[in-house]
Amino acid sequence: MAKDNIERIQTYVGSMASLPVTVSKVLEVCNNPKTSPIDLDRVIALDPVLMGRVLKLINSAYYGLGTQVTSLVRAIIMLGVNTVKNLALSTAVIDRFSSRKGFSAINMDGFWRHSLCVGVTSKLIAQRRGADPKTLEEYFAAGLLHDIGKIPMNDALGEDYMLAVSTADRDRIPLHLAERKVLGVDHAIAGAAVAKAWRLTGAINDAIVFHHALPAYEDENWEVLLTVAVANYFAGREGIGFSGNLYPEKLPPDIFDRLSIQKGLLEDLEGPVNAEIEKAKVFLRQAK
Amino acid sequence: MFSLKIWGDRGSMPTPGPETVLFGGNTSCLELRADGRLVIIDAGSGIRQLGDSLMRTDLKNGPISADIFISHTHWDHIMGFPMFTPIYVPGTKLNIRGPITYEDETLENVIGSQLSYRYWPVRQEELAAAIEYEQIKESTYDLGGGLFLTTKYLNHPILCLGYRFEYRGRSIVTIYDHEPFRNIFPTDPSDPSYDAEAAKEGDLAAAEENDKILRFMEGADLVVHDAQYTAKEYLASKVGWGHSSYETAINACHRARAKRLLLFHHDPNRGDVELQELELFYQSRVGGKTGLVVEMAREGTTYVVEG
């Protein structure tokens, strides 16, 4: 059965739309209030799929423009940076997070909120630890995408995945263990298939594949991985969003020492994390 | 009769007081009449007095029925709505239409939420009038009774529509809040983010969009055009704010062969004396060079386009 399930996931992943250069790049540019028209044009134009979708939305009945707009520069001049920014944001992120059928086992809104929370929390922790500013967006993307494997699990396995989620709930065990027990495959394995298809490498890949296997990980991206794990713990503890994991595993006792942070740091994060998520609400609405 | 009466012409914020007696201190509200048909453009603070006037003159002939077109949902264009008395009168029928910006909520929420306890003692649900809301776009509409409307997206920080009403071969056009489209991409090759292709496409796009605006007001009998700044003020510190200069409005209307221009959306910091001086200055500058009649919009004045 496990083999069969893995095949179903792989078939599904093969049919998923490709990820643009990086979702985090779009987010980074769009979340910056100082984004200039040229920054926006460049980051969207980097990805033909994203650009096509933005232009499609601009030319859609939503705006009812009299003429066909075929260049992004023109769209930015006609509709303004803000409008195109929001279009790009919702297109870049939500399209890839929302499944074609809509989450059945896990609520889509809750899943997305959880992912966003882990993304912004990872970035904030990295900031507090004095991480290189150039790497902050990587922390964000790693956190944002860590649970991405749950999308093919949910979409490809349908009711079976619902059974896994309810098993985790009933047996009070972490979701990834319930997934293995019921389906013979977990969202880390499914996530690895997504990472491979989207050519996600480095820290982002490692966060997706190893976030429930911290002790086994001995590679160079341990700081990002452990940070994402702490952020994931924080999201669960604070009840920000929900991705099906009511009974998460305990964090390794030495994790705060290894990251050279105090556990108390998390107490200060609640405000900033909520503020960051609030900013993103605008495109959360567009997902529905 | 095809006419337009100004109930509010002030930009940004109402400016009551002795300095604004002549040109008025209420924010945007226009009353358009096409014989028996009533159309209101914008629900700025001027709509309060329009409402009172309708109660005195129209109500005795039967329930008030009007189309309200909102140029955009910035506050100065919707703030008068809760004080528009006909909304409290049973039998009133209103069709409120306007654009909403991508990330915003429905038009009903954006305008109607002003009527919630935190802002106002009466809630939207308690209004006696029958009110329909409709989000509209760039298009052409047959409003019935021979009245036609064409809409055009303008250049403002949020989606904003210009309106062109046609009735019996005559036209009234509103172009506010609007700043000429401009190339917002760097055009200086020494700029580190210069991109030749974007610079060129940006120039072309801005020029084409401005041409569309000219065509939109082509030959209009009356144009109500954004003119919040002088060209000097605009260039000094107001680029990108979404408003036009007097010079821009005059040149555009002249090129579009419009017949009469009302300079509109007066800056809240400008008093009657300054507006009068500016009006005389621009009239003297254009005198004899164009068939265009140029004047400052004056609150309380009616402009009859066709008798």
CA A271-A272-A278 angle, to 5 degrees, is 90
The CATH architecture that domain B2-306 belongs to is 4-Layer Sandwich (3.60)
B51-64 per-position pLDDT tens digit:
999 999 999 999 99
**Cβ contacts of B159 on chain A, cutoff 8 Å:** 63, 79, 83
The answer, yes or no, to whether residue B151 has pLDDT greater than 50, is yes
Q: Would the CB atoms of B185 and A38 count as touching at under 8 Å?
A: yes
Query: What is the pTM for the complete model shown?
Result: 0.69
Task: Flag whether residue B193 sits within 8 Å of chain A, measured between CB atoms.
Answer: yes
pLDDT in tens, chain A (288 residues): 678 898 998 888 887 766 555 566 776 676 676 778 888 888 887 776 677 777 877 777 667 777 778 788 888 888 887 778 767 766 766 666 555 555 567 777 788 789 889 988 998 999 899 887 667 767 877 888 899 899 889 888 888 999 999 999 999 999 999 999 999 999 999 999 988 877 677 888 999 999 999 988 988 999 999 999 999 999 998 888 888 888 888 899 899 999 999 988 898 898 888 877 775 554 454 443
Q: Would the CB atoms of B193 and A38 count as touching at under 8 Å?
A: yes
Chain A nearest-CA distance from B3, in A, is 28
Query: Which residues on adjacent β-strands are paired with residue B134?
Result: B97
Exposure pattern of A155-166 as b/e (b: 16+ CB <10 Å)?
A: bbbeebbbbbbe
Q: Would the CB atoms of A79 and B139 count as touching at under 8 Å?
A: no
Could you tell me which chain B residue has the CA closest to the CA of A86?
B103
Could you tell me which chain B residue has the CA closest to the CA of A61?
B137
Secondary structure (3-state) at B146: coil
Q: Would the CB atoms of B153 and A65 count as touching at under 8 Å?
A: yes
Could you tell me which chain B residue has the CA closest to the CA of A83?
B102
User: According to the 3-state scheme, what is the secondary structure of chain A?
Assistant: CHHHHHHHHHHHHHHCCCCCCCHHHHHHHHHCCCCCHHHHHHHHHCCHHHHHHHHHHHCCCCCCCCCCCCCHHHHHHHHHHHHHHHHHHHHHHHHHHCCCCCCCCCCHHHHHHHHHHHHHHHHHHHHHCCCCHHHHHHHHHHHHHCCCCHHHHHHHHCHHHHHHHHHHHHHCCCHHHHHHHHHCCCHHHHHHHHHHHCCCCHHHHHHHHHCCCHHHCCCCCHHHHHHHHHHHHHHHHHCCCCCCCCCCCCCCCCHHHHCCCCHHHHHHHHHHHHHHHHHHHHHHHHCC
Q: Would the CB atoms of A77 and B209 count as touching at under 8 Å?
A: yes
Residue B71 and residue B113 in contact, taking contact as beta carbons nearer than 8 Å: no
B238-250 per-position pLDDT tens digit:
999 999 999 999 9
Exposure pattern of B256-279 as b/e (b: 16+ CB <10 Å)?
A: bebbbbbbbbbbbebbbeebeebb
Task: Flag whether residue A285 sits within 8 Å of chain B, measured between CB atoms.
Answer: yes
Question: CB within 8 A of B47, min separation 6: which ones?
Answer: B7, B8, B29, B40, B80, B81, B83, B84
The domain limits of chain B are 2-306
The answer, yes or no, to whether residue B106 has pLDDT greater than 60, is yes
Chain A nearest-CA distance from B235, in A, is 19
Task: Flag whether residue B183 sits within 8 Å of chain A, measured between CB atoms.
Answer: yes
Nearest by CB to residue B138, choosing from A42, A66, A86, is A66
Write down the pLDDT at residue A148.
87
Query: What ipTM was estimated for this complex?
Result: 0.72
The domain limits of chain A are 2-286
Task: Flag whether residue B137 sits within 8 Å of chain A, measured between CB atoms.
Answer: yes
Residue B295 and residue B250 in contact, taking contact as beta carbons nearer than 8 Å: no
Could you tell me which chain B residue has the CA closest to the CA of A89?
B103
Question: CB within 8 A of A54, min separation 6: which ones?
Answer: A44, A72, A75, A84, A87, A88, A91
Task: Flag whether residue A46 sits within 8 Å of chain B, measured between CB atoms.
Answer: no
Q: Using the 8-state DSSP alphabet, how is residue B60 labeled?
A: G
Tokens of A143: 């956190």
Could you tell me which chain A residue has the CA closest to the CA of B208?
A74
B186-218 per-position pLDDT tens digit:
899 998 888 888 899 899 999 999 999 999 999
Residue B77 and residue B43 in contact, taking contact as beta carbons nearer than 8 Å: yes
Chain A nearest-CA distance from B131, in A, is 23
Q: Which residue would you say has higher pLDDT here, B141 or A26?
A: B141
The answer, yes or no, to whether residue B13 has pLDDT greater than 90, is yes
Could you tell me which chain A residue has the CA closest to the CA of B240?
A80
User: How far is residue A167's CA from residue A173's CA, in Å, rounded to a whole number?
Assistant: 8
**Cβ contacts of B193 on chain A, cutoff 8 Å:** 36, 38-39
User: How far is residue A113's CA from residue A214's CA, in Å, rounded to a whole number?
Assistant: 23
Q: What class, spelled out in words, does domain A2-286 have in CATH?
A: mainly alpha
Task: Flag whether residue A281 sits within 8 Å of chain B, measured between CB atoms.
Answer: no
What percent of chain B lies above the pLDDT cut of 90? 89
Exposure pattern of A201-213 as b/e (b: 16+ CB <10 Å)?
A: eebbbbbbbbbbe
Write down the pLDDT at residue A283.
43
Interface test with B, best of A57, A73, A89 (most B CBs within 10 A): A73
What is the secondary structure of B185-250 as a DSSP string? S---TTSTT--HHHHHHHHHHHHHHHHHHHHHTTT-SEEEEE--B-HHHIIIIITTSS--BHHHHH
B261-307 per-position pLDDT tens digit:
999 999 999 999 999 999 999 999 998 899 999 999 999 999 999 86
For all residues of chain B together, what is the average pLDDT? 95
Count contacts between A and B (CB, < 8 Å): 75
Interface test with B, best of A77, A81, A279, A285 (most B CBs within 10 A): A77
Query: Which residues on adjacent β-strands are paired with residue B261?
Result: B223, B294
Write down the pLDDT at residue A288.
38
Write down the pLDDT at residue B44.
98
Write down the pLDDT at residue A44.
80
Chain A nearest-CA distance from B206, in A, is 7
| Location of structure tokens 């106002």 | B120
Mean pLDDT across B138-154:
95
Mean pLDDT across B91-108:
86
Residues 203..242 of A with a Cβ closer than 8 Å to B: which?
Answer: none
Nearest by CB to residue B205, choosing from A39, A64, A78, is A78
Task: Flag whether residue A42 sits within 8 Å of chain B, measured between CB atoms.
Answer: yes
Write down the pLDDT at residue A147.
92
Write down the pLDDT at residue A279.
59
